[in-house]
A and B are shown apart, each in its own frame.
Chain A
Amino acid sequence: AQSVTQPDIHITVSEGASLELRCNYSYGATPYLFWYVQSPGQGLQLLLKYFSGDTLVQGIKGFEAEFKRSQSSFNLRKPSVHWSDAAEYFCAVGARGGATNKLIFGTGTLLAVQP
């Protein structure tokens, strides 16, 4: 079955520190992978996506993610966190094929940033 696991429910980092948010997926074919961010009281916004090619993808707001097929992972990273990065982050896999074309979301990781 297709699924996405985000093992960390809540992470707190200090401003200026590096960040890594974990994401593991289960998908039978080559996955299309996404990271979305949800700021408080807002809808979700796309940070980055991986379809094929270079396994290290760059996104908006200085984020990057690395696709590792051997580990079924797509972890999100940022070298230096800013206070404005406090938000909830969702990893998702694109379920495609036949009449199905939709996203399967993980449960999210809530990021808090300490001054």
Chain B
Amino acid sequence: NAGVTQTPKFRILKIGQSMTLQCTQDMNHNYMYWYRQDPGMGLKLIYYSVGAGITDKGEVPNGYNVSRSTTEDFPLRLELAAPSQTSVYFCASSYEGAGDNEQFFGPGTRLTVL
């Protein structure tokens, strides 16, 4: 099993550009999550999904969109990139909710918006 994979590993965007961060898991997990990590701030939840076709906002959803058309994939879309979106983005999954189950994390995508 590859676990949780994320692409790309690094990306530089110009202000106003758009991009999609890809996330795939091969563990047949129902729940998937997107976090952003900023220095000294821990991880903040952007969006999550409890199954294919179902998504919901986390703490910091503004400027992002998600979709979950399959169990395996949970892409994160950035529209009109802003410098405030410079961060490291982590995708994670768990079989059931992360509140009482182990989450498995991808290696992260480091995004810089200039």
Closest CB of chain B to A59's CB: distance in Å?
Answer: 11
CB <8 Å contact, A94 and B107: no
CB <8 Å contact, A101 and B100: yes
Whole-angstrom distance between the alpha carbons of A18 and B97 in the complex? Answer: 34
Which chain B residues lie closer than 8 Å to A100 at the CB level? 99
CB <8 Å contact, A43 and B43: no
With both beta carbons as reference points, the residue of chain B lying nearest to A91 in the complex is identified as B42
CB <8 Å contact, B105 and A45: yes
Q: In this assembly, does B26 line the interface, its C-beta being within 8 Å of a C-beta of chain A?
A: no
Knowing A44-B103, A102-B48, A107-B41 are in contact, say whether A94-B56 is a contact too (CB < 8 A): no
CB <8 Å contact, A107 and B40: yes
Whole-angstrom distance between the alpha carbons of A114 and B21 in the complex? Answer: 37
Whole-angstrom distance between the alpha carbons of A42 and B110 in the complex? Answer: 11
Closest CB of chain B to A21's CB: distance in Å?
Answer: 14
With both beta carbons as reference points, the residue of chain A lying nearest to B35 in the complex is identified as A105
Closest CB of chain B to A83's CB: distance in Å?
Answer: 22
Whole-angstrom distance between the alpha carbons of A51 and B34 in the complex? Answer: 24
Knowing A9-B40, A106-B42 are in contact, say whether A43-B99 is a contact too (CB < 8 A): no
10 contacts between A and B (CB under 8 A): A42-B107, A43-B107, A44-B92, A45-B105, A46-B102, A94-B99, A101-B96, A101-B97, A102-B98, A102-B99
Seen from chain B, the residues whose Cβ lies within 8 Å of a Cβ on chain A are: 4, 31, 33, 40-43, 45, 48, 50, 56, 58, 90, 92, 96-100, 102-103, 105-108
Given contacts A94-B100, A107-B42, 8 further A-B contacts (CB under 8 A): A42-B108, A43-B105, A44-B90, A46-B103, A90-B43, A96-B100, A102-B97, A103-B99
